[in-house]
Amino acid sequence: MSAIPYCDDVLDSSVSLLQLADVAKNLGVAVTRVQQLLRDHQLLAVRRDGVLGVPEVFFDDDGQIVKSLPGLIAVMHDGGFSDEEMLRWMFRSDDSLPGTPAQALHGHLAREVVRRAQAMAF
């Protein structure tokens, strides 16, 4: 089995992270399934203070992965973006969105976020 992918913590310290065990509990799956989601590029993780964490904003109010996130990661990955570059973009404030692209994934602008990521890749 391959290593669990993660990237350097390029996020502001105010970005709340969930440890992999907490992600597993919220999703109702084993931690090994969360590790597989990371390997399959369905989620992104960072190492902060020696602990792997997934940004809390990647989950909806029910603790499930935000619907558009895996597609957004796939588009950016296919466009040649590294995990660090994806996270920097997703958490950069954007005046044309309510906050950041990561926050906009929770509302009606999710498709616009994915569209912008597609446009950046080409």
- Residue range 108-121, pLDDT digits in tens: 999 999 999 999 87
Mean pLDDT of the residues in the chain: 94
Look up the pTM and report it.
0.92
- Residue range 72-99, pLDDT digits in tens: 999 999 999 999 999 999 999 998 887 9
What integer pLDDT is reported at residue 48 of this predicted model?
Answer: 96
Q: Which are the contacts of 66, defined by CB distance < 8 A and separation ≥ 6?
A: 57, 58, 59, 60, 105, 106, 110
Mean pLDDT value of segment 23-29: 97
CA dihedral defined by 45, 72, 107, 57, rounded to 10 degrees?
Answer: 0
- On the 0-12 / 13-18 / 19+ scale of CB atoms within 10 A, 3 is exposed
